[in-house]
Amino acid sequence: MRTLFIALLLALLEGRATAQTSSLPMSAPTTVSPKASTLRTYALRLKPGQDLRKELLAFAEQHQLRASAILTGVGSLTTASLRLANQPGPTQYKGHFEIVSLVGTLSINGSHLHMSVADSTGRTVGGHLLDGNIIYTTVELVIGEMPELDFRREPDPTYGYQELTVYPAEPQPAKKRTASGKRP
């Protein structure tokens, strides 16, 4: 009898917790199926005067990155250009800034990158990374590519924004080999 009572109590509590934590519209799925991939990493350094976002997007194009993420990024800027939360346009800061956080997804199909910077007093501000972030001394990056995945941006009916969707990558054709067995 006691075991039955505890089982019923747990079932009731589980149902109440689920009902209290669900604040999404009814049409939104509450679970996401994760997709796995191996990870290939790239380490690179950007130089003074380069535009951080433009260099990241050019790197994604050059390496045809379909699904990658910024694993770490540190460095310094003379100009920081961010779209702050719930703002329609850019906010630009001039001075010397340390990058204290650089995160996000990077793909030739659309990227979503955030950055936080601190000034000489430690005041920190962050938002969406935009063009116009000019490197002062260096930016050191490690980028992780997930070759078995394909990141895409598609409209989300909940809010209407272009949001991340993750697909399995399409198989790539094998590269031809020469008579010696080497790739041309």
What is the per-residue pLDDT across 51-79, written as a single tens digit (0 to 9) for each?
999 999 999 999 999 999 999 999 999 99
Percent of the chain residues past pLDDT 90, beyond the cut:
71
Cβ neighbours of residue 153 closer than 8 Å, sequence gap 6 or more: 109, 110, 112, 162, 163, 164, 165
Residue 111 counted as domain residue: yes
Q: In the predicted model, is pLDDT for residue 25 greater than 60?
A: no
The pLDDT assigned to 178 comes to 56
Percent of the chain with pLDDT over 70: 76
Q: For residue 104, give the CATH number of its domain.
A: 3.30.1330.80
| Range with the poorest average pLDDT among 13-17, 29-33, 99-103 | 13-17
Instruction: Look up the pTM and report it.
Output: 0.76
- Whether 90 maps to a domain, the answer reads yes
Give the per-residue pLDDT at 174. Answer: 62
Would residue 154 count as lying in a domain?
Answer: yes
Q: What is the pLDDT of residues 80-107, one digit of tens each?
A: 999 999 999 999 999 999 999 999 999 9
Q: Which pLDDT score is estimated for 182?
A: 59
Per-residue pLDDT at 183:
54
- Look up the domain containing 74 and give its range: 40-168
- pLDDT attached to residue 3: 43
**Residue 26 within any structural domain of the chain:** no
Query: Does the pLDDT value for residue 4 go beyond 60?
Result: no
The pLDDT assigned to 171 comes to 78
Chain mean pLDDT for the chain:
84
Per DSSP, the residues of 32-60 read --------EEEEEEE-TT-BHHHHHHHHH
Q: Is the pLDDT of residue 8 over 80?
A: no
How many domains does the chain fold into? 1
Identify the pLDDT of residue 118: 98
